[in-house]
Structure 1
Amino acid sequence: MQAPVTTSVHTLRTAHEQFVTVPGALPRVRDLVADSWRRCAVRGVHPDGSRLPPLRATAAELTDYRCAHPLAAVLPLFRELLGDGAADDGHVFAVADTDGTLLWVEGDRATMERGEGMHFAEGAVWSEARAGTNAPGTALELGRPVQIVTGEHYSSAVHAWSCAAAPVRDPFTGRVLGVVDLSGGGTIATPPALAAVRGAALAAEAHLARTLTVPTTAPVSGGRGDGVRLSVLGRDSALLEHGGRVLRLSPRHSEIVLALALAGHGVTGDRLAVELSDREVPSSTLRAEMTRLRAVLGPTLLGSRPYALLCPVRTDLGEVSDLLAEGRVAQALARYPGPLLPRSDAPVVVEQRRCLEQQLRGAVLADGDPGLLRRWVAADWGTDDIPAWSALAHALPGGSPQRAAAAARAHALDAENAVPPQVVRHAAVLQRSRS
C-alpha cells in the first residue's frame, strides 16, 4: 500500500528545484516519486513545464477510438461513482488508455478549463514519458494505484495540482485496459481520494466480469505495438513492459530475460547456463527456473527449444549503446541511470556492464565537455574516477576555483589509491548498491 503523503508544498518544491538544478542531487521525496523523477530525467522530460503533453488525436479520431474502447462500457459507472462528486468539489475525473491518452475528462467546468491550459484534456497523452510524474501516467508505469501531490509532479506546470489514479484490468486476463483518475486541488491530496479511485477501478472490473463473456479484444491503446521494453540500467530488478502490463522481475529472472534479449534468435539451455553462471548449472535447475519464468511472462512471450523471447525487445541498454554509436554522448549520459543490474555476477551481465561503462566513460572523456565531465564525476560510478577529475580540471578555464577543486580531488584520489582506478570504481559502485 502507498505511504501517506504528508510532505509540505514548500518542502516538495524545494526538493524538486534541487533535483532538477543540481547535478547528482538525491531526490528528497518518497521512494515512489524519487524513482519516477529518475525515469523522467533519463527520458528527457522537461521539468520546467516548457513542453506540454502532446494532443494525439483529432476530435473525430478520438470519438471513433473511444467508442471501440472497452472502458466505454464502464463510463456510466465512473460518472455515477466519481462524476457528481467531481462537479460539487471542484475537481475532475479522467479515464485514459494504456498509453496515457485521456479519453474522457469530466467534472467541474472551471477546473476543466484550467486543465486545458496545461493540456489535461481529452486526446492529450499523460504517460509518464510524455508528461512526467503524474498519477495516471505513474499508475500505468507501475501497474498499481498512485497518488501524486503538488510538487511531486516532475513538470512544474502541474505543481498546483494533486491527483490520484488506479489502473483498470481485464477481469479474465489481468491485462491493464486503462486508468481512472481524480485531479484537482487540495481535496485530492487525501487518503479518501485514493480510496475513491481504487474503489471505482474495482467496481469497473466487477462490472466487466459480469457483462463480458470473453477477454476484451478491442484495442486498449492508440498504437502501442506488441513488443517488449526491458529496463535494466541502474536497477537490480528489471522492469518488463508488454501489452499494458509492467512486471518487476526478480533479480534471477532479470538476468535470464536480459540474456535472452541479447541472444535475439534464441539460445540452447547449455549456452544459457554458461551465460548465467561461472559454475555448472544442472539442466534440471535451469528447466525449473524457466518454468517459473514462463509462469510470470506467459507462454506467448517465452518460447523453448531454443529458449527465446517471442516478441521484439527494446532495452534501455540498447538505447544508450545506439546513442553512443551515433556520437550523441550527452543524450547517452542522460539516459544512463547507473550500471547494468549492478548486483548481478552472471557472466553475460558482467561483460555487458563492463563494455557499456567503458564505452560511455571513454566517450565522455574524449568529448572533453566540462558539463558532461561534471555529470560523470557527480554520479556514484564516477566520483572516484581520477582521469575524469583530471580531464575536468584541464577542461575548466585557468584560474577557476572549480578547476582548482577538480585538480585537488584528482590529486587526493591519486594519493589514496594504490590500485587501478577502474578496480576502485567498480568496487565502490557495487558496494553502494549492496548497502
Structure 2
Amino acid sequence: MAAVHEASLGAGPGGGRAGARRLIRESWYRARARGVDPECARPAPGPPADVELRRDASGLREALPVLRETLLGAYDPLEHIMLVCDADGVVLWREGCHRVLRQADTAGLAEGMRWSEQQVGTNGMGLGLVARRPVLVHHAEHFARSLHWWTCAAAPVHDPRTGRLLGAVDVSGPHHRMGPAALALVSAAAKVAEGELRLRHWASVDRLRTIAAPLLAGMSAESGLRALAVDPEGWTAAALGMTPPERVTLPARMAPGTAWLPALGLCALEPLPGGWLIRLTPQRQELAEAGRVVLDLRRAGAPAVTVQSAAGGWSRELSPRHAELLYVLAVRRSGLSAAQVAAALFDDATRTVTVRAELSRLRRTFGTVVDSRPYRFADGMEVEVLLPEVLGELLPHSTAPAVLAARHPEAEAHSPGW
C-alpha cells in the first residue's frame, strides 16, 4: 500500500488503479488539489474555549453515553481509542487506552484539533464526513505519511430529525492492532447514537403535543380553521381541520408573522413553548412562477438551496439525495424523464420506480418549484448553481454518473449517455 501511495501522489483521479480503492483514490486527488502536503500535513488547533461551545452546538453530547458503552465496552480498550468530532472535523471528545492516547498526541489526535480532509488529507474522520458513510482508512491509505502507522474506522452521525450531518465517531489505534471488525462496530455505534437521538426527539414532540392539543381544541369553534403545531424542525405534534403531514418544511430563520411554506402556502406563524403554531390561510397561495433558485454546493457537508419569489422566500440544507436531484435538474433545464434521471443517478435507466418515489418526496418538500412530465424546474424560474472552488469536491459523497462526469471532466467518461 505504501508503494501505491507513493505512485499515486502524482496521478490524477484515475491513478493508482493497481491497489487503491476508488474512495481512497478520490480522497487523495482532492487533497492534492487543495495543496495538502503529505510530508507535513497537520491538524489545525482552535481556541481552547471553542471546544466546549462546539460540544454544546454539535447535538452529540446526548449520544456520548451510548457511544462509550458501545465502543469502549465492546472493543478492547487496552489497544484503541474512541474519538468524536463535529461536522467540521474538530475533535470534541476522546477516550480509551492511556498508552494509545499518548501515541495519538504525537499525531495531533487531541480535543480541539481539526481533522477535516481539507486540512489533513485522507483520514478516517475527515473522509467519513465527506463520503457520508462508514469508512476504514488503513496504514498507507492515509494521505499524510506521518499517519501510516495508524488505522481509523469512522462513521458519520446524522440528526434523525433533519438528516443534517452532526459529526462522526471513530475508533483508532496502531495499524497492526486494528482489524476489519472495527468498521462494523463503529457503524453500529453510529446507528445506536442516532437511535438515542431519535428517542429524545419523539419525547420532545410528545411534550409539545400535551401543550398544543388543548390549545387547538379551544380553537375548534372557529369555522374552517386549519392549523398545525410543529416542533422547531417542523415535525407535527397536533393538527386541526386537516390531515396532518408528518413534517412541514420551515424557513431557515423562523419569526412570528406571515411566511410562505412550500407544502402549505401562505401561513401565519406563532411561537409555542417548544415549537410553533401554524395557521393556514383560507385559500392556498402558490409560489409565483417567476422566481429564483440558488443551489449552493460549495460546502461538501452542507449543500443548501434558497428559493425567492413574490410570494415569499425559503432556504434549507439538503439531504445528499435531494442535492443530487436538484443538481441534475439544474444541469438539464429542458427536463428529464424518469428513465433519464435514473441513468443520471444510478447508471441504470430501469430504476424508474425509485426515481419517481424520490422525486415525489422532493416535490412535496419544494411545492411548485419542481414540475413533472418532464421533471424540471418550473418555467420562469431563474436557477443558479454555486460550485466548490475545487471541482473534485462537488458532492463528494455521490457516485451518480452525472456528478462524477462534472467532478472529473478530464478523466474517463462516466456513463455519458444519461
Q: TM-score range by the shorter chain?
A: 0.5 to 0.7
Q: CA RMSD in A?
A: 4.7
Q: Conserved in 1, the CA contact under 8 Å of 2:165 and 2:301?
A: no
Aligned to 1:314: 386
Spell out the pairing of 1:135-146 with structure 2 (5 A cutoff): 135-146=124-135
1:303 aligns with 2:303: no
CA-CA distance at 1:130 after TM superposition: 1.7
1:224-373 → structure 2 map (5 Å cutoff): 228-229=296-297, 241-242=303-304, 243=317, 246-247=320-321, 254-258=327-331, 292-293=358-359, 295=361, 299=365, 303-304=369-370, 307=378, 313-316=385-388, 319=389
Q: Distance in 2 between matches of 1:83 and 1:310?
A: 52
Q: Structure 2 counterpart of 1:43, which letter? A: R
Give 2:43's aligned amino acid. Answer: P
Instruction: Measure the CA separation in 1 of the matches of 2:151 and 2:101.
Output: 14
CA distance in 2, matches of 1:342, 1:178: 24
**TM-score normalized with structure 1 length:** 0.55
SS across alignment from 2:110: coil
1:152 shift after superposition: 0.7
Determine if the alignment matches structure 1 residue 116 to structure 2 residue 188: no
Distance in 2, Cα, partners of 1:310 & 1:177: 32
User: Residue deviations 1:41-70, cap 9 Å, x none?
Assistant: 22222222x131211x32222113313431
Contact kept, 8 Å, 2:28 with 2:143, in 1: the verdict is yes
TM superposition shift of 1:198: 1.2
Q: Residue 177 in 1 paired to residue 243 in 2? A: no
Distance 1:433 1:15 in 2: 29
The number of residues matched between the two structures is 294
Over the matched positions of the two proteins, sequence identity in percent amounts to 28
Q: Which amino acid is 2:92 matched to?
A: L
Q: What secondary structure is seen at the aligned counterpart in 1 of 2:167? A: strand
**Aligned partner letter, 2:7:** Q
The correspondence for 2:25, drawn from 23, 27, 34, is 34
SS in 1 for 2:365: coil
TM-score normalised to structure 2 length: 0.57
Structure 1 residues 160 and 102: CA distance shift in structure 2, 3 A: same
Cα pair 1:43 1:335 within 8 Å, conserved: no
Report the Cα distance in structure 2 between the residues aligned to 1:217 and 1:117, rounded to whole angstroms: 42
Aligned to 1:52: 42
Contact 1:239–1:247 at 8 Å: present in 2 too? no
Aligned pairs (5 A) from 1:142-181:
142-181=131-170
Asked if the contact 1:177–1:244 (Cα under 8 Å) also holds between the matched residues in 2, the reply is no
Q: Which runs of 5 or more structure 1 residues have no equivalent in the other structure?
A: 1-11, 219-225, 232-237, 261-270, 278-287, 321-331, 345-349, 358-378, 381-428
Aligned residue runs from structure 1 range 419-430, under 5 A? 430=413
Whole-angstrom CA distance in 1 between matches of 2:151 and 2:5: 15
Amino acid at match of 2:296: V
Look up the match of 2:225.
Answer: none
| 1:255 shift after superposition | 3.4
Q: Is the 8 A contact 1:102 1:124 kept in 2?
A: yes
Shift of 1:228: 2.9
Q: Where in structure 2 are there 5+ consecutive unaligned residues? A: 206-230, 234-293, 305-316, 341-353, 372-376
Distance 1:311 1:86 in 2: 49
Residues 1:98 and 2:64 aligned together: no
Q: By how many angstroms is 1:230 displaced?
A: 5.9
Residue type at the aligned position of 2:361: A
Conserved 8 A contact 2:132-2:156: yes
Match of 1:130 in 2: 119
Kept after mapping to 1: 8 A contact 2:82/2:172: yes
Q: In the alignment, which residue of structure 2 is the partner of 1:74? A: 63
Residues 142 and 165 of structure 1: is their aligned pair in 2 closer, same or farther, counting only changes over 3 Å? Answer: same
Q: Structure 2: how far apart are the matches of 1:244 and 1:142?
A: 15
CA distance in 2, matches of 1:98, 1:315: 20
Matched residue, 2:184: 195
CA 1:183–1:432: 2 relative to 1, 3 Å? same
**CA separation of 1:17 and 1:118: change in aligned 2, threshold 3 A:** same
Question: Which one of 198, 201, 226 corresponds to residue 212 of structure 1?
Answer: 201
Using the alignment, how far apart are the partners of 2:52 and 2:43 within structure 1? 20
Residues 17 and 174 (structure 1 numbering): CA distance in 2 closer, same or farther, change over 3 Å?
A: same
Asked if structure 2 preserves the Cα contact closer than 8 Å seen for 1:132 and 1:154, the reply is yes
Q: 1:155 to 1:65 in 2, by over 3 A?
A: same
Name the CA distance, whole Å, in 1 between partners of 2:100 and 2:73.
Answer: 14
Change (3 A) 1:26 1:186: closer
* Range with bigger deviation, 168-177 or 291-300: 291-300
Structure 1 stretch 296-305 or stretch 202-211: which is displaced more?
A: 296-305
